[in-house]
Chains A and B, each alone.
Chain A
Amino acid sequence: AQTVTQSQPEMSVQEAETVTLSCTYDTSESDYYLFWYKQPPSRQMILVIRQEAYKQQNATENRFSVNFQKAAKSFSLKISDSQLGDAAMYFCAYRSAWGGVLQGAQKLVFGQGTRLTINP
């Protein structure tokens, strides 16, 4: 079974600075997807960024980027120019790519989360 570990229960950063959230995972599969989700006080999980394991290039979405190290099974999230609206719980998640056209059947495996605080 796959597992996802986030070793930082809490992180804080000054507004406009850069912060990196860590995530490691364990799997025997070679093809999978990795995600970072944001959960603000509204409780809704919001997708921040997605990485396909077969892609060597790290995904980037505006101020958010990842450092994907497949051999080390590491998937960190870097937030640049932190904004007050970035404050939230952040979850790293894994999803198997097995299943072909039934990829919709695959569940998400989440880490324990990191609470990010932005200091003005």
Chain B
Amino acid sequence: DAGVTQSPTHLIKTRGQQVTLRCSPKSGHDTVSWYQQALGQGPQFIFQYYEEEERQRGNFPDRFSGHQFPNYSSELNVNALLLGDSALYLCASSLDAGWGGYTFGSGTRLTVV
């Protein structure tokens, strides 16, 4: 049973560019959450998608947007990249009902130069 798959694993972008990160949830999970983890810090919640809609959002600017597809996979888009957006981006999937155990992917390391 595949866990959470994220792509790409590493990415280098130039300041001002746009980036799209992808996440395939664990089989049977219907909810996807995205977290940003700066170097040496704990993950920070960006937003969560359920039934193809953004259900909850953390304190991130509108440059961060997302999408969830009918097969529950998700994308995270970041526009007008800043140097400060350099981080590890983690995707976590869960089942909406119940206590909500999370399965994390191995993340995408984004470097903005």
Known interface pairs A43-B107, A45-B104, A111-B42; A102-B96 also in contact (CB < 8 Å): yes
A20 within 8 A of B: no
B7 within 8 A of A: no
A55–B35 alpha-carbon span in the complex (Å) = 28
Number of A-B contacts (CB under 8 A): 71
Q: Chain B residues with Cβ under 8 A from A4's Cβ?
A: 42
A15–B72 alpha-carbon span in the complex (Å) = 42
Q: Is the CB of B50 within 8 A of A113?
A: no
A33–B101 alpha-carbon span in the complex (Å) = 11
Out of B42, B88, B95, which one reaches A43, CB within 8 Å?
Answer: B88
In the assembled complex, the CB of B74 is this many whole angstroms from the nearest CB of chain A, namely: 14
Interface residues of A (CB under 8 A from B): 4, 6, 33, 42-47, 91, 93, 95, 101-113
